[in-house]
Structure 1
Amino acid sequence: MCCAGFLKMMMFIFNGAIFLAGVAIMGVGIWVKVDSGSLMDILDNVDGAPSELSILVNVSYLLIGVGAVLLVIGFLGCCGAIKESKCMLLTFFSIVLIIFLLEVAAAVVLLVFQNLTDELLHGVENELRNTIRRKYGQDEDVTSLWNSTMEKFDCCGVKNYTDFYYSPFYNVTEGLVFPPTCCRANVTVGECNESEAVSSVADGCLDILVQLIEENSAIIAGVALGIAALEIAAMVVSMVLYKQIGSKA
């Protein structure tokens, strides 16, 4: 009895953690979805973008889906342990096992095709630059998204101020004015001209985004490993509890 009670408590703790992880991931997904000023929305407006970009654009849906699955897993694990339901425990184990195998397969694929990252990044850079030169200053949605992104991240264009050359905005201003964020730290009070943009050397938005991802890669990897460890522990405990319930019957 004591052992069974301990296992139930372990299942509750493991699945409670998985449930909370699901809430957190779903929350992040919802936040990304409603954040209209993020680069994800800009990518969604890129014409002729490669099909691989759909993964980036729809990342919010992926996070929401993963969070929902984790919520279901946490519910099955907790209820299965408390009610001593063999069916729920077996369903819980099967779902977690499938997800764990998919995670391992995804990690292997990422390692094998790691060399495609630079190629994909180069494609993103070109398409974003083309979007600026075709629509910035003419398309209100694209212009607003770029302005909010540059203001939020304190950056200029994809790589630098030259990305605005020959855009509708550039043509209207006759090349005399650039977006304010292209003049870092407000080099002078007033409009941002080319000489000020050259001297300020503002960072490109794509470089800042990549830097943010790299800086948080250790955290992302740590969270992924933590979730995997919880999944393994939960599977082991669920099977031990499943056998104990079967022996009682």
Structure 2
Amino acid sequence: MDSEGGCYNCMKYLLFVFNLLFWLSGAALLGVGIWVIVAQQSFITLVGDNPLFITGAYILIGVGAFVFFVGFLGCCGAIKESKCMLILFFILLLLIFAAEIVAAVLAFMFRAKTEQVLSDMMNKTLQEDYKGPKAQDPTSAAWNYVQIIFGCCGTTGYKDWLTSDWVQNQGQGTRMDFPSSCCTRDKLSLDNLPKNQTACYANPDDPMFMNSGGCFEKMKSEFQQKILIIAIVGIAIAAVMILGMVFSICMVRNMEENTRM
């Protein structure tokens, strides 16, 4: 009997610790989202008045609030040994787990379509929204940054720039066929000048002075290299959630047996 009581108490406090961590993660997401919304005026100067940015902040608040509530519910249910709270906690955790599975399946099923949408979006911003190598708007700054960091040029290659609004609207005397951020650099830093900008523009097919390859494939390759880490983290989170569900249902069953006795 003492052994059973010890196991029960161990399970109770493990469930409490699990939910405390879950609650803290929700609080962190909630805090970041609220901070972004409150301080959005200062962010506009950095990233621009982008609706996706603000929408992302509200999504953070929503997800954080939900996780915060679920974690709090689990903590209270474990400490107070509330059957009702633990059952509700189990149901909510099961819904989150199911949503993660559905999201993973949909991401796999629509992977090709998603890649095409992302490629089209990149090409659209390149063609219509880019303002120049020294422009400070979010789109131009992002393109310059990505091309330098990933050592790439354009969505599929430097020829993408030839039909862009930025190139077409330049004066004949100052025409540049692609941004200087396409040129190779000694170090991957926005502060560094190109190795040889003259040679870069004179022979854009020379990989010594020109970033070869499009940015979409370079970014896709970088993501694929990290996909194993992402998968491991996802599996670890799923395993922790399964443990949380197992602990909660075991506590409920134990309480029911004690009530019958």
TM-score range, shorter chain: 0.7 to 0.9
Superposed CA deviations along residues 37-69 of structure 1, whole A, max 9, x for unmatched, are: 99xx89x79xxxxxxxx8x99666555544443
Q: How does 1:139-150 map to 2 (within 5 A)?
A: 140-150=137-147
Q: Who is 1:102 aligned against?
A: 99
Superposed CA deviations along residues 186-216 of structure 1, whole A, max 9, x for unmatched, are: 231x567533533234143322321232122
Distance 1:223 1:21 in 2: 15
Counterpart AA for 1:107: A
Counterpart AA for 1:105: V
Counterpart AA for 1:165: L
Distance 1:2 1:145 in 2: 57
Q: Who is 1:3 aligned against?
A: 7
Instruction: Specify which of 229, 233, 237 is matched with residue 243 of structure 2.
Output: 233
Q: Who is 2:178 aligned against?
A: 178
Instruction: Specify which of 128, 131, 134 is matched with residue 134 of structure 1.
Output: 128
Normalising by structure 2, we get a TM-score of 0.70
Deviation at 1:167, TM superposition (A): 2.4
- Give 5+ residue unaligned stretches, structure 2: 186-193
Identity of aligned residues (%): 32
Q: Does 1:162 align with 2:159?
A: yes
Distance 2:62 2:120 in 1: 30
Indicate conservation of the 8 Å contact 2:161/2:177, yes or no: no
Q: Who is 1:51 aligned against?
A: none
Indicate conservation of the 8 Å contact 1:15/1:78, yes or no: yes
Q: How does 1:13-52 map to 2 (within 5 A)?
A: 13-22=17-26
Distance 1:77 1:146 in 2: 45
Q: Which range is displaced more, 172-181 or 237-246? A: 172-181
Deviation at 1:3, TM superposition (A): 2.6
Q: Who is 1:214 aligned against?
A: 224
Larger radius of gyration: 2
Any idea what SS the aligned residue of 1:158 has? coil
Instruction: Specify which of 178, 200, 204 is matched with residue 197 of structure 1.
Output: 204
Q: Which range is displaced more, 127-136 or 207-216? A: 127-136
Distance 2:238 2:78 in 1: 20
Counterpart AA for 2:241: E
Deviation at 1:22, TM superposition (A): 4.1
Distance 1:198 1:166 in 2: 18
Q: Does 1:117 align with 2:111?
A: yes
Indicate conservation of the 8 Å contact 1:177/1:192, yes or no: no
Distance 2:140 2:86 in 1: 52
Deviation at 1:92, TM superposition (A): 0.5
Any idea what SS the aligned residue of 2:131 has? coil
Indicate conservation of the 8 Å contact 2:200/2:206, yes or no: no
Aligned residues: 233
Counterpart AA for 1:7: M
Change (3 A) 1:124 1:236: closer
Normalising by structure 1, we get a TM-score of 0.73
Counterpart AA for 2:125: T
Q: Who is 2:80 aligned against?
A: 83
Distance 1:178 1:79 in 2: 60
- Give 5+ residue unaligned stretches, structure 1: 46-53
Distance 1:90 1:108 in 2: 27
CA RMSD of aligned residues (A): 3.9
